[in-house]
Structure 1
Amino acid sequence: MIEFKDIEKSFGRQAVLSGINLKFDQPGIFAILGPNGSGKTTLIKSLMGMVFPSAGEIWIDGRLKKGNEYRNSIAYLPQIARFPENLSVSEFLSFIENIRGQGSRKEELSVVFGLNDFKDKKLRTLSGGMRQKVNLVSALMYDTHTIILDEPTIGLDPIALINLKNWIRKEKEAGKTILLTTHIMDIVQELADEIVFILEGKVYYRGSQEELLSQTQTENTEQAIAQLLSLQKAS
């Protein structure tokens, strides 16, 4: 369970989050959407301890978030991965295992995302798509009940994208809570159980895709999100 209570964050005079209240206490796939600068990435980084809110509290599994122990219960895929460029793919994944311990799903995920084809290559030599596959395996290789995916589809080829979607569905069926940020509305329409739309640092909409389509009188999620933006600009 993750709960954001009255979360606020400002950078200088710029308010990025303004009283965010959200609770995720059920398994499922929750798409956190919003235009660039809406605050969604800042919200995720606040959860992961990479940004410190100006006000409010974050609760994880019924406990106020403190220290770093909670990170072992959350798998986090950052939008931009930063690797030790001098290591090979296999050396990097072994490095993570040495830090976090055994019991990883490294081998299974390496097959899913085709890492074995380039496991001996140095990270500095990899293309963007290859780096994203390493990012996915390193983020998901431990079995956690909460998964945070920040723009997970960047650079993926069609086969890897299909495998990622199947993996996300598999994790949902296992009772996981998955928070997903993306600008690819087809992914949202195909996977998401609920949509959280953040605009100017506030929760503008939360509900199912069916409710959103009915509310906006549109035919698909992409049109619905565009409608929300149009309504906001007109107000």
Structure 2
Amino acid sequence: MIQIENIKKRFDRLQVLDGVSLTINRPGIFAILGPNGSGKTTLLKSILGMVLPQSGNIQLNGESTLKEWKYRNQIGYLPQIARFPDNLSVREVIEMIKTIRSQPANEQPLIERFSLQDFLDKKLGNLSGGTRQKVNIVLTFMFDCELYILDEPTAGLDPVALIQLKDLIGAEKEKGKTFMITTHIMNLVEELSDEIVFLLDGKIYFKGSLEELKQKTGQQDLEHAIAQILQ
């Protein structure tokens, strides 16, 4: 599905991605991990076309994504910080995104799943951070996509909403969908991920299962395995 070949990206003197190559050719949940500044978000934004690499190539289903845009209709994206005008209501922003994407949307079950019925006519600027994140989740999942890119999706969520999000991800995975997720919540990675991709200094240090990472580092859990890498 995704073929990333020797991607390099520099911001001024900072080499953020330094020859990253990655292949994801099956459905599942892929956790993109690494310390701050390791290039995780830049990698995801390169796939989305929001960042243009200086060299290398990215293919989605065999077609290059560089200087293209239609392929984005196959992707659901939940950014780490989603910014919409504060004076829009929840209902208005949902309708706006539906108009922009011009794709069939199914938002009502998600509105009910995350208990947003009473917030539809409230302005975004008057919502708590957690409620805004629930709205962002609805905007991401109301379209039927084959790939979902989630950048710190649990930010601000209460325990009930977190359970609902994990159940939603699991249900979509069962339908054959692919996820690329960045998160600092290690128990979420241990619970959901099929493979871990660990970025370090702009390169892929490790790609494989949680058990393989434990064996590589000689640690019993993910948190200590990552600490071992960073020492």
So what's the TM-score if we normalise by structure 2?
Answer: 0.97
Rounded Cα–Cα distance in structure 2 between residues aligned with 1:212 and 1:102: 39
Cα drift, residue 202 of structure 1:
0.1
2:73 is matched with which residue?
Answer: 72
Cα drift, residue 99 of structure 1:
2.3
1:89 is matched with which residue?
Answer: 90
Give per-residue Cα distances to partners, 1:63-99, cap 9 Å, x unaligned. Answer: 1114210110000100001012211101110111222
Cα drift, residue 188 of structure 1:
0.2
Give the SS at the match of 1:50.
Answer: coil
* Mapped pair 1:57 → 2:45: no
How well do the aligned residues superpose, as a CA RMSD in angstroms?
A: 0.9
Give the SS at the match of 1:87.
Answer: coil
Rounded Cα–Cα distance in structure 1 between residues aligned with 2:176 and 2:140: 18
Cα drift, residue 103 of structure 1:
2.3
Rounded Cα–Cα distance in structure 2 between residues aligned with 1:9 and 1:58: 13
Unaligned 5+ residue runs, structure 2? none
1:233 is matched with which residue?
Answer: none
Give per-residue Cα distances to partners, 1:12-55, cap 9 Å, x unaligned. Answer: 11111000000111000000000000001000111111111011
Give the SS at the match of 1:117.
Answer: helix
1:197 is matched with which residue?
Answer: 198
Letter in 2 for 1:128: G
1:162 is matched with which residue?
Answer: 163
Give the SS at the match of 2:215.
Answer: helix
2:22 is matched with which residue?
Answer: 22
Rounded Cα–Cα distance in structure 1 between residues aligned with 2:3 and 2:229: 25
1:47 is matched with which residue?
Answer: 47
Letter in 1 for 2:59: W
Moved more, 92-101 or 66-75: 92-101
1:2 is matched with which residue?
Answer: 2
Q: In percent, how many aligned pairs have the same letter?
A: 57
Give per-residue Cα distances to partners, 1:93-149, cap 9 Å, x unaligned. Answer: 011122223521200111111211211100111111011111111111100000000
List, as ranges, runs of 4+ consecutive aligned residues in structure 1 with deviation greater than 3 Å. none
Cα drift, residue 169 of structure 1:
0.6
Give the SS at the match of 1:103.
Answer: coil
Letter in 2 for 1:28: G
Rounded Cα–Cα distance in structure 1 between residues aligned with 2:46 and 2:34: 17
What does 1:138-217 align with in structure 2 at a 5 Å threshold?
A: 138-217=139-218
Rounded Cα–Cα distance in structure 2 between residues aligned with 1:151 and 1:77: 8
Letter in 1 for 2:80: Q
* Mapped pair 1:38 → 2:43: no
User: 1:212 and 1:182, CA in 2 relative to 1: closer, same or farther beyond 3 A?
Assistant: same
Letter in 2 for 1:189: E
So what's the TM-score if we normalise by structure 1?
Answer: 0.96
